Amino acid sequence: MARFDGRIALVTGGGGGIGRAIAHALAGDGAAVGLVDTRADGAAKVAAELETLGRRAVGVAGDVTDPVSIRAAAAAVEKALGPVDILVNNAGIARIGPLLEVPEKDWHDSFAVNVDGVFHASRAVMPGMVARRRGCVVNLASWLGKRGAANYGAYAATKFAVVGFTQSLAFEMAPHGIRVNCVCPGLIVDTEMRRVIDDESGRRGLPQAKDRAPGIPLGRVGYPDEVARVVAFLCSDEASYVTGAAYDITGGSWMS
Ligand SMILES: NC(=O)c1ccc[n+]([C@@H]2O[C@H](COP(=O)([O-])OP(=O)(O)OC[C@H]3O[C@@H](n4cnc5c(N)ncnc54)[C@H](O)[C@@H]3O)[C@@H](O)[C@H]2O)c1
Confidence tier at 122 by pLDDT (50, 70, 90): very high
86 in a structural domain = yes
209 in a structural domain = yes
Tell me which of 10, 146, 191, 249 to substitute to probe ligand 1's pocket, judged by most ligand atoms within 8 Å of the beta carbon: 191
253 in a structural domain = no
Give which of 70, 166, 61 is closest to 117, Cα–Cα: 70
Q: Evaluate: CB of 39 within 6 angstroms of ligand 1.
A: yes
1 in a structural domain = no
Tell how far the Cα of 126 is from the centroid of ligand 1, in angstroms. Answer: 21
Q: Evaluate: CB of 145 within 6 angstroms of ligand 1.
A: no
Q: Rounded CA gap, 223 and 37, in Å?
A: 21
Tell how far the Cα of 99 is from the centroid of ligand 1, in angstroms. Answer: 22
Backbone angles phi, psi at 128, to 5 degrees: -65, -40
2 in a structural domain = no
254 in a structural domain = no
Q: Rounded CA gap, 218 and 13, in Å?
A: 28
- Residues classed as catalytic: 155
Q: Evaluate: CB of 231 within 6 angstroms of ligand 1.
A: no
The mean pLDDT value for 214-236 works out to 97
255 in a structural domain = no
Q: What is the pLDDT of residues 36-92, one digit of tens each?
A: 999 999 999 999 999 999 999 999 999 999 999 999 999 999 999 999 999 999 999
Q: Rounded CA gap, 220 and 154, in Å?
A: 26
252 in a structural domain = no
The mean pLDDT value for 195-207 works out to 93
Residue 212 has pLDDT above 90, yes or no: yes
Q: Evaluate: CB of 19 within 6 angstroms of ligand 1.
A: yes
Confidence tier at 246 by pLDDT (50, 70, 90): very high
Question: What residue numbers bound the domain in which 104 lies?
Answer: 8-247
Nearest CA to ligand 1 atom 25: 13
Contact 169, 122 (CB under 8 A): yes
Would you state the pLDDT for residue 256? 78
Would you state the pLDDT for residue 254? 84
Strand segments, DSSP code E, in the chain are 8-12, 32-37, 57-61, 86-89, 135-140, 178-185, 246-249
Report helix, strand or coil for 187.
coil
Q: Evaluate: CB of 45 within 6 angstroms of ligand 1.
A: no
Residue 240 has pLDDT above 90, yes or no: yes
List b or e across 50-77, with b for residues whose CB sees 16 or more CB atoms inside 10 angstroms.
beeeebbbbbbbbbbbbbebbbbbbebb
Tell how far the Cα of 1 is from the centroid of ligand 1, in angstroms. Answer: 31
Q: What is the domain count for the chain?
A: 1
Residue 1 has pLDDT above 90, yes or no: no
Tell how far the Cα of 14 is from the centroid of ligand 1, in angstroms. Answer: 8
- The pTM (predicted TM-score) of the whole model is 0.98
- Provide the CATH number for the domain around residue 60: 3.40.50.720
